[in-house]
Amino acid sequence: MADFNIVSGGVYPKLASGIAKKLNKKLLKVELKRFANGERYIRYEEPVRQKDLFIIQSFAEVNGYSLNDAIIELCLLIDAAKRASAREITVVLPILPYARQDRKARNREPISISVILRTLEMLGVSRIITIDLHSAQTQAIFSQPFDHLIASPLITATLQKLTANDKSAYLLVSPDAGRAKETEQYAEDLDLEYLHLPKSRSRENSSHIKRPSNITGVQNKKCIIIDDMIDTGGTLITAATTLKNSGAKDIIVATTHGILSNDAATRFKESPISSLYIVDTLPQHEHQAILGKKLKIISVAPLIAEAIDRISKGDSLDFMFKGKNNR
């Protein structure tokens, strides 16, 4: 693609503006509004005929949007572009909605992410770009190019600066068995020691997480926990409590997707966690207001901008991740 335009949905225009600025672009002008009955409306205010579009939409309950509002608006942006003869349409979804509903866990359930991706393909999307999928196999649902970016270079660079002066003072901790492999990879990249923290769930109430009251090997250590997503925060807060009770000097958490549903931000504020690093794939201004200096933002705009630039030039993305995004 010799030339392209950047389009922003209404959920997170600040991110789209940051990406456009790094690419020396201006956002394409789009009218976005909501009718009194809740229906969404969009209209491109500039021609898109035979143009290649990168439509950026995130999914959060902010700025008068529900998550499902954001999905509908994305669909309308795609449909309007297609009907106006846009050449290629790439959707940039920093977090993929419904990605955790990627299988049938019970009878008569939908596979919700399949519905989302098949809808985007039916509407005429040429390519999808997203970050840190819940399950890499999700890419198989979409038959067009699917670029799975990973935030680990951003998180690794941030933690390298944090730990550079005294690596022996820090310890990586896997919050559960599911994060063991990723924690080991981060430990190798950061040249830090690591351990795995046991976790189980109550038979009577699966939402109740059970941890040992204390563990060995963390006393006077600055413990770092890295996860791909924080929703309610139960796993990480219980892990932090165990580490604190075990004599950890400091507890630091880093994550890609900071959803922080319901009162999670308040619970993190009151938790033993001293610093929470979040890659801003979602708007964080409401969480920042609650968490203050405890919340540290890692900008995702440079990562997405580089990916768009490489795609527009027909260059490989493999260089950005050294093959790690295919694991």
Are 126 and 89 spatial neighbours (Cβ–Cβ below 8 Å)?
yes
Are 323 and 150 spatial neighbours (Cβ–Cβ below 8 Å)?
no
- What radius of gyration do the chain's Cα atoms show? 21
Of 178, 226, 221, 216, nearest to 199 (Cα)?
Answer: 178
Angstrom distance (rounded) from CA 48 to CA 28? 9
Distances 147 to 40, 98, 131, 280, 319 between C-alpha atoms, Å: 28, 18, 8, 19, 13
Are 77 and 30 spatial neighbours (Cβ–Cβ below 8 Å)?
yes
Q: Which residues contact 181 (CB under 8 A, 6 or more apart)?
A: none
Residue 243's φ and ψ, nearest 5 degrees, are -65, -40
Are 125 and 81 spatial neighbours (Cβ–Cβ below 8 Å)?
no
Angstrom distance (rounded) from CA 52 to CA 63? 28
User: Which is catalytic among the residues 25, 199, 222, 244?
Assistant: 199
Q: What angle do CA 200, 205, 208 make, to 5 degrees?
A: 50
| Residue 130: strand pairing partners | 93, 148
Active-site residue flag, 199:
yes
Kind of pairing between the strands at 209-210 and 222-230? unpaired
Residues assigned a catalytic role: 199
